[in-house]
Amino acid sequence: SPYGTGVAILTGALRFTLATNIDDIKLRRDLSLCLLQWKSGVVKQLGWTVSDDLLCVQEDGTVLVYDLLGGFKRHFSMGNEVSQSQVLETKIFHSPYGTGVAILTGALRFTLATNIDDIKLRRLPEVPDLQGAPSCWAVLTQDRQSKVLVANGSHLFVLDNTACTPVTPPGLSPQASSIVHMCVSFSYKYLALLTDSGHVWMGTSNLKDKFVLLLFSCRCRRPKSQQPSAVVMWDGLLLVVGECKETIQYHLDDDSILVPELDGVRIISGTHHELLQEVPGACEEIFKIASMAPGALLLEAHKEYEKESQKADEYLREIKEQSLLSEAVRQCVEAAGHEHEPETQKTLLRAASFGKCFLSNFPPEQFVSMCRDLRVLNAVRDYTVGIPLSLTQFKQMTIQVLIDRLVYRKLYPLAIEVCCYLKTPEYQGVSRVLKHWACYKVQQKEESDEVIAKAVSVKLADAAGISYSEIATKAYESGRTELAIKLLEFEPRSGEQVPLLLKMKKSPLALSKAIESGDTDLVYTVVMYLKNELNRGDFFMMLRNQPVALSLYKQFCKHQEQDTLKDLFNQDDDHEELGNFYVKASYKEQRLEARIAHLQSAVDEYYKAKKEFSAKTTEDEMRLLRFQRKLEEEKGEQLVGFSLHDTMTTLLSVGLHKHVEQLYKDFRVPDKRFWWLRLKALAEKEDWEELEKFSKSKKSPIGYLPFVEVCIKHHNKYEARKYVSKVTLEQKVKAHLAVGDVEGAAEAAIERRNESEIGTVLSRCAATTDHLLVERLNRAKATVAKK
């Protein structure tokens, strides 16, 4: 029973069959890669992932993953529902998201996962009237979504996440017959259906366009090519069906299976592996019988040249006359790319090179890169390697993926050769291969840690951008902690070392490495890990030795765990911080008693820290709070929480002068500020009488200019004038100006013989009304200036 399938995306020649006994899986290449003794459950389906792993889907929905050499990698389940109702059919598909698995369960429901590396199971809606297994189904990827196309008899349905939609392919009458096979093209663009009446329907996969409806029968796979066409196989007969009504027929000797590819279809039988593809344009042009294409002529010219015949010149002339020589060279190079025989490739390239000689300014890139690509392709096509890629596939696959494929096959030397030959940047090329080699190396049990560590470091020493931590992880996973630590020493990125060190329980080392990296998030990660791992004492001890980590942890505690913060300060005997802590805490309290209690603790701590000023200040604060509460109770004024200044202002505004006096004395408020305070408060109240009394009570420590200014601010010029005379000489000008007395100001300024003041006054004079004054000032200014 042909259980085998080929490797999906562009993988190529992995030929492998499954023996009739499904308990014995034999993977075979031209040289078999490995022989696997199957011990697990009944396998329903085999398939390959994009990264060359083998997937075995079991009846109970478990999927086992093996690497290319038969090593077990992991397994995962397709969910409870699947395991209960068992797997009926499975399809493995590829989408932009990776490799997916679709399952039809015994309960006739579909479950699929679009990416096996990040499994999110999706259960698709029910298909109406489905009694038994559908006659056939396929997975499509459209609009970034994977859908299932199901045929039940003559009915066709599209299942997506939300709905099950019946569809009718145009041109295929629904009552006609039931669909027995369907196949989606490699690019998901086209669809072919085969009905039991022997019709083949081909169209686009969105079922909008029909290409052709033909009469046939059998199993089919279809390749994509310039003209959509399907390949149909029936026992020993292979048919290629195109848009025209003609078919091409081949006869096959063996039982074979078909694997669709990007640019053709692989036919794999027990003994052979063939690639069926449309002849590429360039090859056709050149090798067509009696072709007069420039490439064909150039090839001919070269052949004659080799024979030293003058005909070469004739051919060449013919091409040059049509000035098609560069076209000819291009054709030859392209055709060489599509040829699989090295001899033919050589002939074509030689012809191209010959043609190039007669061209000036022909860009060499195409020729050079083709030579390189072919060299690599020929190397990997060798039967010992067994990756028979076509050039188109190689281009699609990119060199990175090819190197990956080589690495999966453990063909490290070849991979390195390829990288060097193609001059791939070290980081993507050689270094990556070496890393894979090292990962493989550390899993070899028979060698000692020292030997391996040395071997790895010697080989990898010069390679740039090696991730030693990945290698170390591999070593740790295979149970070699010591080796892992040795290898981690080589890792230049300290950030990379941390997670593994944590996993290996080397937490102090992890912490210092995290700090070294400067990445605070990483430090936090380790700190949080340690917090859960260690008991509190040990944890604090460890932090004490790492100030950076400690201060970060303090930040964390400040927002999350206030109590821990207190413990930390206590441990360090940091009394000042403790004091600050209590001060902060006091503001969070609603009740005054609690606030004062916190403040008292703060005072104690400040004294312990010998912070006299802070302690005294906090004592003052407590005193003020008590005072405020007392007054609140007595007088009903809202005071608690006000600053001393605001308290005094409030009290003055309600006329509680005595209490203000008391505060003034108790808190030793400086005279100056006290005067300002009273001045402003009285002006605010517009209590001008009281203000005047106050001004005469004592000589003002702030002078009398503020009196003038404050009065003006409250629009009382009359009161302001009262104080002008008291203002000191230096401020006279300002005072006069403030009350709008320009003449007075002029008088004062002239008297003081101060040039800048005269200037100020001048700027305030209106030239028209005060011209006498202006003159006087100007004269005074002149005399001052003379001196």
Partner 1 sequence: ICFALLCHRTKLILILECQATKTCRKYVDLATNTDNANVKVLIDPKQFSRNEANGIIIIDKLQPRDFHILFVPRRSLLCEQRLKEKGVLNSFTNIDEYILDLIPYDGDLLSMESESSFRECYLENDQTSLYHAAKGLMTLQALYGTIPQIFGKGECARHVANMMLRMKREFAGSQTQILPVFDTLLLLDRNVDLLTPLATQLTYEGLIDEIFGITNGYVKLPPEKFAQKKQGEGGKELPTEPKKLQLNSAEELYAEIRDKNFNAVGAALSKKAKIISAAFEERHNAKTVGEIKQFVSQLPHMQAARSSLANHTSIAELIKDITTSEDFFDSLTVEQEFMTGVDTDKVSTYIEDCIAQKDPLIKILRLVCMQSVCNNGLKQKVLDYYKKEILQTYGYKHILTLKNLERVGLLKPQSTMRNNYPTIRKTLKLWMEDANEQNPNDISYVYSGYAPLSVRLTQVLARPGWRSIEEVLKMLPGPHFEERQQVPTGLHKKRQPGENRTILVFFLGGVTYAEIAALRFLSNMEDSGTEYIIAATKLINGTSWIKSLMDSPEENLP
Return residues touching partner 1 (CB under 8 A). Answer: 426-427, 431, 463-465, 492-494, 516-522, 524-525, 528, 547-548, 551-552, 554-556, 559-560, 580, 583-584, 587-590, 613-614, 617-618, 620-621, 624, 640-646, 667, 669-670, 672-673, 676-677, 680, 702, 706
Angle at 512 between CA 511 and CA 516, to 5 degrees: 120
Q: At its nearest, how many Å lie between partner 1 and the CB of residue 643?
A: 4
Residue 78 CB, nearest distance to partner 1 (Å)? 20
Of the two residues 39 and 591, which places its CB atom closer to partner 1 in the complex? 591
Q: Residue 331: which of 304, 305, 360, 301 has the closest Cα? A: 301
Angle, vertex CA 134, rays to CA 128 and CA 135, nearest 5: 135
Cβ proximity to partner 1, 621 vs 770, nearer residue = 621
Which helix H or strand E contains 43, and what residues bound it? Answer: strand 43-48
Q: Over the range 400-439, which residues count as b (16 or more CB within 10 Å of their CB) and which as e?
A: ebbbbbbbbbbbbebbbbbbeebebebeebbbbbbbbbbb
Task: Name the token pair of 117.
Answer: 């590396």
Least distance in angstroms from the C-beta of 628 to partner 1: 11
User: What's the closest the beta carbon of residue 654 comes to partner 1, in angstroms?
Assistant: 19
The torsion of the CA quartet 395, 400, 406, 409, rounded to 10 degrees, works out to -120
State how far the alpha carbon of 748 is from the alpha carbons of 765, 766, 767, in Å. Answer: 15, 18, 19
CB-count exposure of residue 307 (10 Å: 0-12, 13-18, 19+): exposed
Centroid of chain to Cα 276: 41
| Bridge pairing between strands 237-241 and 247-251 | antiparallel
Question: Closest approach of Cβ 696 to partner 1, in Å?
Answer: 20
Q: How far is the CB of 299 from partner 1 (least distance, A)?
A: 41
In terms of DSSP bridges, do strands 219-221 and 34-37 run parallel, antiparallel, or are they unpaired?
Answer: unpaired
Helix (H, G, I), strand (E, B) or coil at 142: strand
Coil/strand/helix, residue 256: strand
Nearer to partner 1, 225 or 517 (CB): 517
Q: Give min distance, CB of 519 to partner 1, in A.
A: 6
Task: Select 16 or 581, whichever has its Cβ closest to partner 1.
Answer: 581
- Report the nearest approach of partner 1 to the CB of residue 680 (Å): 7
Tell the smallest beta-carbon distance from residue 543 to partner 1 (Å): 13
The nearer residue to partner 1, 559 or 658, going by C-beta atoms, is 559
The number of residues in the chain equals 787
Write the CB contacts of 315 (distance below 8 Å, at least 6 apart in sequence).
Answer: 297, 298, 300, 301, 304
State the nearest-atom distance from the C-beta of 673 to partner 1, in Å: 4
Cβ closest to partner 1, residue 38 vs residue 642: 642
Give the nearest distance from C-beta 260 to partner 1 in angstroms: 31
Nearer to partner 1, 229 or 614 (CB): 614
Please, what is the minimum distance in Å from the beta carbon of residue 480 to partner 1?
25
81 close to 104: Cβ distance less than 8 angstroms: no
Between 388 and 706, name the residue whose CB sits nearer to partner 1. 706
Q: By C-alpha distance, which of 260, 263, 276 is closest to 221?
A: 260
Please give the backbone phi and psi of residue 638, each rounded to the nearest 5 degrees, phi first. -75, 110
Min. distance of Cβ 427 from partner 1 in angstroms? Answer: 4
What is the nearest approach in angstroms of partner 1 to the Cβ of residue 548?
7
Residue type, 389: L
Least separation in angstroms between residue 61's CB and partner 1 is 23
Quick one: which of 175, 284, 272, 168 has its CA closest to 226?
284
Residue among 480, 469, 425, 417 nearest 447 (CA): 480
> Do 534 and 560 touch, CB atoms closer than 8 A?
no
The beta-carbon contacts of 700-704 under 8 Å, at least 24 apart in sequence, are 700/675, 700/726, 701/671, 701/672, 701/675, 702/672, 702/675, 702/676, 703/727, 703/728, 703/731, 704/728, 704/735
Question: Which of residues 45 and 431 has its CB atom nearest to partner 1 in the complex?
Answer: 431
User: Which residue, 191 or 460, is less far from partner 1 as judged by CB?
Assistant: 460
Q: Which is nearer to partner 1, 443 or 520 (CB)?
A: 520
CA distance 666 to 669: 8
Closer residue to partner 1 in complex, CB, 470/516: 516
If the CB atoms of residues 371 and 669 are measured against partner 1, the closer one turns out to be 669
Q: Which is nearer to partner 1, 418 or 677 (CB)?
A: 677
Tell me the Cα Rg of the chain.
46
Residue 341, Cα to own-chain centre: how many angstroms? Answer: 44
| Tokens found for residue 772 | 């006498």
Q: Which is nearer to partner 1, 560 or 768 (CB)?
A: 560
> Shortest CA distance to 381 belongs to which of 348, 351, 406?
406
What is the rounded distance in angstroms from the CA atom of residue 667 to the CA atom of residue 661? 10
3-state class percentages of the chain: helix first, strand second, coil last, to nearest 5: 50, 15, 35
Identity of the residue, 75 or 714, whose beta carbon is nearer to partner 1 in the bound complex: 714
For the bound state, the minimum distance from the C-beta of residue 144 to partner 1, rounded and expressed in Å, comes to 10
Least Å from the CB of residue 487 to partner 1: 16
Residues with Cβ within 8 Å of residue 144, at least 6 apart in sequence: 96
Q: Which is nearer to partner 1, 221 or 611 (CB)?
A: 611
